[in-house]
Amino acid sequence: MKTEEVRLMWLFVFFDLPVGTKDQRRAATRFRNFLKDDGYLMLQFSVYARICRGEEAIDKHLARVRKNLPRTGSIRALQVTDRQYGRMYLMLGDAPKNETVAQRQLVLL
- pLDDT tens string 65-96: 999 999 999 999 999 999 999 999 988 888 66
pLDDT at 12 over 70: yes
Residues annotated within a binding site: 16
The string of pLDDT tens digits covering residues 44-71 is 999 999 999 999 999 999 999 999 999 9
CA 100 to chain centre: 19
C-alpha to C-alpha distance for 74 and 38, rounded to whole angstroms: 19
8-86, CATH topology level: Alpha-Beta Plaits (3.30.70)
Count Cα atoms within 13 angstroms, Cβ side, for 44.
10
CA distance 55 to 53: 7
Please give the share of the chain, as a percent, with pLDDT higher than 90. Answer: 75
Q: Is the pLDDT of residue 4 over 70?
A: no
Which positions make up the binding site for Mg(2+)?
16
Res 21 pLDDT > 80:
yes
Residues 6+ apart with CB under 8 A from 80: 9, 10, 12
- Domain positions in the chain are 8-86
